[in-house]
Amino acid sequence: MPPQAAAPVPARSSAAHSSAGPTSPTSPTGPTGPTSPAAATATGLCKVYGRGETRTVALDSVSVEFGRGQFTAIMGPSGSGKSTLMHCMAGLDSVSAGSARIGDTELSALNDRQLTRLRRDSVGFVFQAFNLLPTLTASENITLPMDIAGRKPDRRWLDTVVSTVGLAGRLDHRPAQLSGGQQQRVAVARALASRPEIIFADEPTGNLDSGAGAEILAFLRYSVRELGQTVVMVTHDPTAAGYADRVVFLADGRLTDELDAPTPEGVLDRMRRFDAKARTS
């Protein structure tokens, strides 16, 4: 059975969806003209670390599109380039060759200040290690990126996000007073709060037990289906990938395969086939 557990449905979900703005999957054309139908695009993306004997080709000409309003999982064995791909696409790491775009924006064309602004305004992050500030309450952590940017949070949207991730009673708690699952919910709410073009999640359930992990994955999927969010998640877990709309597989820095409407069993089967192929080649 694919993990189809429903996330709690907030009362204003349809209003939130219809006001999803230019990131909505139903509005690929912005006020300044046609925009890319993809939320993020890699074209011939290469990333090389080190030189000489320590030279490592982490990404070897990867071309992939992450569709707007889609939940995509990136899978592959350890060292296959998953995190590097995510970091290059999120503007956290430079590329050696090729192109990484968020919407129509070519990341390599941006200077440091523009890149910082793009990450702040257009990208949301969820990390395995939650990365919350211990001295701030859950509520303060959620709005911190917007506070730093000097942006006023949209209260209605914030209420929707908070009720979606089920945090309403815990907004005044500090991270140490919350369980791991609750802390990751705060991190998901923080990522959703500014309605970024795209959310990158790096092993978001890696530090959680399976129950809390299932809740986080259901929230991420809910944010895609009902709130129009775009999510790209790195995972090595077939069950987690089963929540996505699509899985892309990496091996040795190359994109090797993809699977639409994945089930955990289908993902496992595909991974076993890669292993068998790797053993015979």
Binding of ligand ADP by 129 (CB under 6 A):
no
Residue 154 sits at φ, ψ, to 5 deg, of -80, 105
Exposure b/e, 69-90, CB count within 10 A at least 16 = b: bbbbbbbbbeebbbbbbbbbbb
Q: Taking a C-beta distance cutoff of 8 angstroms, is the pair 126, 202 a contact? A: yes
Q: Tell me how far CA of residue 146 lies from CA of 150, 190, 275, in angstroms.
A: 6, 9, 44
Interacting stretch for ligand ADP, rule CB under 6 A, among 82-90, 153-161, 186-194, 216-224? 82-90
Q: Which is it for the CA torsion 98, 103, 109, 114, positive or negative?
A: negative
Of 79 and 153, CB closest to ligand ADP: 79
Q: Taking a C-beta distance cutoff of 8 angstroms, is the pair 232, 264 a contact? A: no
Site string for ligand ADP, 51-70 (x = CB under 6 A): -----x-x------------
Interacting stretch for ligand ADP, rule CB under 6 A, among 77-85, 133-141, 150-158, 176-184? 77-85
Interface size with ligand ADP, residues (CB under 6 A): 12
Site string for ligand ADP, 32-51 (x = CB under 6 A): -----------------xx-
For the CB of residue 2, give the shortest distance to ligand ADP in the complex, in Å. Answer: 24
Alpha helices (H) in 165-202, listed in sequence order? 180-193
Binding of ligand ADP by 80 (CB under 6 A):
yes
Of 93 and 215, CB closest to ligand ADP: 93
For the CB of residue 28, give the shortest distance to ligand ADP in the complex, in Å. Answer: 30
Binding of ligand ADP by 163 (CB under 6 A):
no
Phi-psi region of 205 (alpha: psi -120 to 50; beta: other; left: phi over 0): alpha
For the CB of residue 275, give the shortest distance to ligand ADP in the complex, in Å. Answer: 15
Tokens 């089963």 -> residue: 242
Binding of ligand ADP by 128 (CB under 6 A):
no
Phi-psi region of 6 (alpha: psi -120 to 50; beta: other; left: phi over 0): beta
Interacting stretch for ligand ADP, rule CB under 6 A, among 13-21, 71-79, 218-226, 263-271? 71-79
Binding site for ligand ADP (CB under 6 A): 49-50, 56, 58, 76, 78-84
